[in-house]
Structure 1
Amino acid sequence: MGIPFFATYALLFASSVWSAAVHTPLPQLRPLVIWHGMGDTYDAPGILEFIQEVQDMHPGIFVHSIYLQEASDEDRKAGYFGNVNEQVEFVAKQLNNITELQHGFDAMGFSQGGQFLRAYVERSNSPPVNNLITFGAQHMGVSDLPACKPYDITCQLARRATRNGVYTEWAQANVVQAQYYRDADQLPRYLERNHFLPSINNEVDDDVNATYASNLEALNKLVLVMFAKDTMVVPKESSWFGSYAPADDALAPAKTIIPMRLQPLYTQNRIGLRTLDDRGDLILTTCDGAHMQLSDGCWKPLAQEYTGGVIHLSQSKYVLQVQ
Structure 2
Amino acid sequence: MALLLASCALGYQHWTGSALEQALASSSDHLAPTISLISEPAPLAERTPVVMLHGMGDSGTNPGMRSLCDTASGKYPGLHVVCSTVADGAASITTTLDKQIEEFTASVRADAKLANGFTAVGLSQGNLVLRGYIQRVNDPPVHKFISMCGPHNGVGTCPDNVLYKLICPLWRLDSYGAPIAFSDYWKDVADKATYLKKSRWLADMNNEREAKNVTYVKNLKSLTQLVFVEALQDTMVVPHASETMGFWAWGSPGSVVPLNATTAYKEDWLGLKAMAETKKLVTYSYQGEHLRWSSAFWDQTILPFLAD
TM-score range, shorter chain: 0.7 to 0.9
1:221 and 1:231 map into 2 onto residues whose CA distance is 27
SS at match of 2:89: helix
What pairs up with 1:14-93 in 2 under 5 angstroms?
A: 28-69=46-87, 75-93=88-106
Post-superposition offset of 1:300: 1.5
Q: Show the counterpart of 1:178.
A: 183
Rg (Cα) greater in structure = 1
Post-superposition offset of 1:191: 1.2
Deviations 1:66-85 (A, max 9, x none): 2235xxxxx21111112211
Question: Runs of 5+ in structure 1 lacking a partner?
Answer: 1-26, 70-74, 248-252, 310-323
For CA contacts below 8 A with separation 6 or more, give which structure has more relative contact order: 1
Paired residues of 1:158 and 1:175 also in contact (CA < 8 A)? no
Deviations 1:115-155 (A, max 9, x none): 22111111111111111111111010010011223xx4xx5
Q: Show the counterpart of 1:268.
A: 267
Q: Show the counterpart of 1:255.
A: 254
TM-score normalized by the length of structure 1: 0.78
Paired residues of 2:123 and 2:147 also in contact (CA < 8 A)? yes
SS at match of 2:230: strand
Deviations 1:154-209 (A, max 9, x none): x5554333223202x3x0xx111111011101221111111111111011113x21
What pairs up with 1:117-136 in 2 under 5 angstroms?
A: 117-136=130-149
Paired residues of 1:30 and 1:104 also in contact (CA < 8 A)? yes
Percent sequence identity over matched residues? 29
Paired residues of 1:30 and 1:105 also in contact (CA < 8 A)? yes
Q: Show the counterpart of 1:194.
A: 199
Q: Structure 1 stretches (4+) deviating beyond 6 angstroms?
A: none
Post-superposition offset of 1:210: 0.3
Q: Show the counterpart of 2:288.
A: 289
Q: Show the counterpart of 1:300.
A: 299
Deviations 1:197-240 (A, max 9, x none): 1111011113x210000000000111100012112110010001
TM-score normalized by the length of structure 2: 0.82
Assess, with a 3 A threshold, how the Cα gap between structure 1 residues 175 and 157 changes in structure 2: closer, same or farther.
Answer: farther
Post-superposition offset of 1:30: 0.9
Question: Runs of 5+ in structure 2 lacking a partner?
Answer: 1-44
What pairs up with 1:101-120 in 2 under 5 angstroms?
A: 101-120=114-133
Q: RMSD of the alignment, in Å?
A: 1.6
What pairs up with 1:146-157 in 2 under 5 angstroms?
A: 146-149=159-162, 152=163, 155-157=164-166
What is the number of equivalent residue pairs in this alignment? 264
- The code of the aligned residue for 2:171 comes to T
Deviations 1:52-93 (A, max 9, x none): 111111111111122235xxxxx2111111221121122112
- The code of the aligned residue for 2:273 comes to R
Assess, with a 3 A threshold, how the Cα gap between structure 1 residues 270 and 254 changes in structure 2: closer, same or farther.
Answer: closer
2:182 and 2:85 map into 1 onto residues whose CA distance is 17
Paired residues of 2:156 and 2:186 also in contact (CA < 8 A)? yes
Q: Show the counterpart of 1:317.
A: none
